[in-house]
Amino acid sequence: MTEEPPIAVLADDTAYAEAVQLAVDSAAAYYADGTSTLDDDAYDRLARGIQAYEEAHPEAVLATSPTGKVAGGAVVGDVPHTVPMLSLDNVFGAGQLADWAISLERRLGRPVEAWSVEPKLDGLAISARYRHGRLTQLVTRGDGVAGEDVSHAIGTIVGLPARLAEPVTVELRGEVMMTASQFEAACLKRQAHDGTTFANPRSAAAGTLRAQDRPYVCELTFFGYGALCHSGDTSETAARLRELPHSEIMAWVAAQGAQTPAVTDVGGIVATTLEQVQERVEQIAAKRAELPFGIDGIVIKCDLAADQAQAGFGTRAPRWAIAYKLPATEKITKLLDVEWNVGRSGIIAPRAVLEPVVLDGSTVTYATLHNASDIGRRGLMLGDSVVVYKAGDVIPRVEAPVVHLRTGDERPIPIPQVCPLCGDEIDASQERWRCVRGRACRVIASIGYAAGRDQLDIEGLAENRIQQMLDAGLIADFADLFFLTREQVLGLERMGETSTDNLLAAIERAKAQPLSRVFCALGVRGTGRSMSRRIARHFGSMDAIRAADAEAIEAVEGIGPKKAPGVVAELVELADLIEKLIKAGVTMTEPGWTPPAAPGASAGAEASGASELPLAGMSVVVTGAMSGALEALTRNQMNELIERAGGKSSSSVSAKTSLLVAGEKAGSKRAKAEALGVPVVTSDEFAARVATYLQPDL
């Protein structure tokens, strides 16, 4: 799946010594209050570079080196652990995983009978000590031998009960972290307090766990990954836990009321072969972007207690477990500039210009900043070191500034006072600012979009031709195209009779496009091609759409209570344009539409009819080049076909995907579908399934 990422190359003893000091300082800062000069990926690269230098120059090894030490040797705790809390060694791909497994089985002298496979949660390891079933103490991992008492956090951690189901004396070990919603809430509290935000969920969790004097409380989440009893404990529970496989220990932990990964889509499983282990690794990795919390890898362990006992421990990590690291989705880089772009509907959107950074396998130079209010909430400044996040198909986004890395040279981000494109006023009444001219601000883009292949499909209407028509006063919006005369078009420079007739014929054909495409051509904010099809098929006619209030619009799948009022308001704004389209004879109904069933007996009939469609209730993704009967279809036409056949088109593969249509050169989406167990069909197989709904005019 992944290749080992590059390591820091150290040229000499001086560079090595500087790297050791940087690693120690970064680890100390992180384990003190959650801050660090390095992100996780940069620290890992540095640590691997230090290790490589030490292997090549054993005579130069410094006593302060983080190599082989828990927490990089930066932490000294004052609460001894009953059993050392060690780190995990890492692998970065299937080949390294296989090498590790072979080495382990050689040490055991036999094959491993069962493997436990679990997500590696991106949090902080803690020990939760229970006495007679009551939570009495929380201790951080520290240096693995002793940790820090953080019992003041008891009562603020979801998933860590104050009392267990049984009155047992036991130690639960697990990760404390922040979910996405907890992180958002924590940032709002910190912003209200001092105007800053946390850099990322992991550092927020680290700082929050140790904080005792904050005037606000932030919630954390616990996921257990083990349970043990003191070596001198001779109780029945202790004896049972020492003999149970890891998977059964986890089931026992869950039964006590503590949270484990089993409650998530990436809960642990037991595999009997390395092939099954790798398959599960790929499944968990494929779901990573959809999870409400961070993971940075997958943990593979010997499931049986006997295997663990025989394999034993190293100085830093158990020999019977390994962490399969995934590519970094979050890194620290520099915010160089902010560009303010104007969309075709007049929306003014800021975009972060970044010092290039590799995230999740691709180089990221730009990231979304949402809006001006978002910049203010996050307290961003030009020159800031910022945390950038990207996972799967998600557009990169700037999470927050890393405040403790500020040098004093940072500058406020200039916020435009007028439209950056046309210089007119800005409507700042909503969070997403808009030029007061709306679509007229970028009228060429607006008309070009409406005439595009996936909307009205007016062939031959290039941007320079639109500009000619605007300059000549022939059009002010795309509805005016339908009122052009042959003489007017012939009068344009470089327009002969043939090209004029071809363009007018294309405009005439556009009148017959279905309502879904006409609605899409309007460019209503928040309604792209897929949403336009849903709206058109829900209401059936433009009259019905325009008559709908926000509550009725909200009934369309995918339109929530925040978006619906905006759609209604924009349709009012577009009234004159729509009236011109109606006057021109443009289609205002959706072919094949059937009205929703009235209350009563007919509702069952409608549901029955919908369920008979070949793709009823299915989420379908198309990837690669189609062939055969589907070869001529654009991706938008494929999506239209899917929805005519009762399905829902999607652009990304997830655990919710029902079917992947894979053409030639299907690539990563096919691999992800196979890892998730999503059914995959060829172009020809899919064409046969939806043959009744293939229309020759597409």
CATH number of the domain at 535, please. Answer: 1.10.150.20
Residues 683 and 651 in one domain: yes
Q: For residue 14, what are the contacts with CB-CB under 8 A and spacing of at least 6?
A: none
Residues 160 and 245 in one domain: yes
Residues 233 and 141 in one domain: yes
CATH of the domain at 365: 2.40.50.140
Residues 173 and 264 in one domain: yes
Tokens representing 522 are 């309007």
Q: Is 5 part of any domain?
A: no
Q: Is 7 part of any domain?
A: no
Dist. CA 691–CA 614, nearest whole Å: 10
From 379, 375, 367, 382, select the one nearest 403 (Cα to Cα).
379
Q: Is 57 part of any domain?
A: yes
Q: With contact defined as beta carbons under 8 Å apart, do 71 and 87 qualify?
A: yes
Dist. CA 649–CA 82, nearest whole Å: 54
- Domain edge (last residue) among 73, 96, 118: 73
Dist. CA 237–CA 605, nearest whole Å: 58
Dist. CA 380–CA 197, nearest whole Å: 10
Dist. CA 65–CA 20, nearest whole Å: 6
Give the position of tokens 């010997």: 302
Q: 299: which strand partners?
A: 118, 323
From 359, 341, 344, 434, select the one nearest 397 (Cα to Cα).
359
State which residues of the chain have pLDDT below 70: 1-6, 30-37, 68-77, 231, 391-393, 592-611, 695-698
Q: For residue 688, what are the contacts with CB-CB under 8 A and spacing of at least 6?
A: none
Burial label, 190 (beta-carbon count in 10 A; 0-12, 13-18, 19+): buried
Dist. CA 53–CA 554, nearest whole Å: 61
**Residue 140 parent element (H or E):** strand 134-140
Alpha-carbon distances of 301 from 119, 131, 140, 229, rounded to whole Å: 11, 28, 22, 19
User: Other C-beta atoms within 10 Å of 193: how many?
Assistant: 11
Tokens representing 292 are 């409400």
Total domains in the fold of the chain = 6
Q: What is the pLDDT of residue 403?
A: 83
Residues 505 and 532 in one domain: no
Residues 614 and 576 in one domain: no
DSSP structural state of residue 494: T
Q: Is 688 part of any domain?
A: yes
| CA angle in degrees (0–180, nearest 5) for 524-530-532 | 40
Range of the domain at 273: 79-325
Q: Is 2 part of any domain?
A: no
Dist. CA 486–CA 497, nearest whole Å: 9
Task: Report the number of secondary-structure helices (H) and strands (E) in the chain.
Answer: 24, 25
Residues 190 and 273 in one domain: yes
Q: Is 130 part of any domain?
A: yes
Dist. CA 479–CA 451, nearest whole Å: 10
Residues 168 and 279 in one domain: yes
Give the position of tokens 């593969």: 653
CATH of the domain at 46: 1.10.287
Residues 185 and 231 in one domain: yes
Burial label, 402 (beta-carbon count in 10 A; 0-12, 13-18, 19+): buried
Dist. CA 2–CA 668, nearest whole Å: 13
Helix ranges (DSSP H) in 587-676: 601-611, 635-644, 668-676
Residues 684 and 542 in one domain: no
From 198, 243, 192, select the one nearest 386 (Cα to Cα).
198
CATH of the domain at 680: 3.40.50.10190
Residues 159 and 187 in one domain: yes
Positions marked active-site: 120
Q: Is 4 part of any domain?
A: no
From 352, 414, 406, select the one nearest 199 (Cα to Cα).
406
Q: What is the pLDDT of residue 1?
A: 46
* Collapsed DSSP state (helix, strand, coil) of residue 687: helix
Q: 259: which strand partners?
A: none
- Domain edge (last residue) among 31, 48, 73: 73
User: Other C-beta atoms within 10 Å of 691: how many?
Assistant: 11
- Domain edge (last residue) among 25, 41, 73: 73
Residues 502 and 590 in one domain: no
Give the position of tokens 């879904």: 516
Q: With contact defined as beta carbons under 8 Å apart, do 618 and 658 qualify?
A: yes
From 310, 309, 301, 248, select the one nearest 277 (Cα to Cα).
301
Dist. CA 526–CA 560, nearest whole Å: 11
Q: Is 369 part of any domain?
A: yes
- From first CA to last CA, the distance across the chain in angstroms is 39
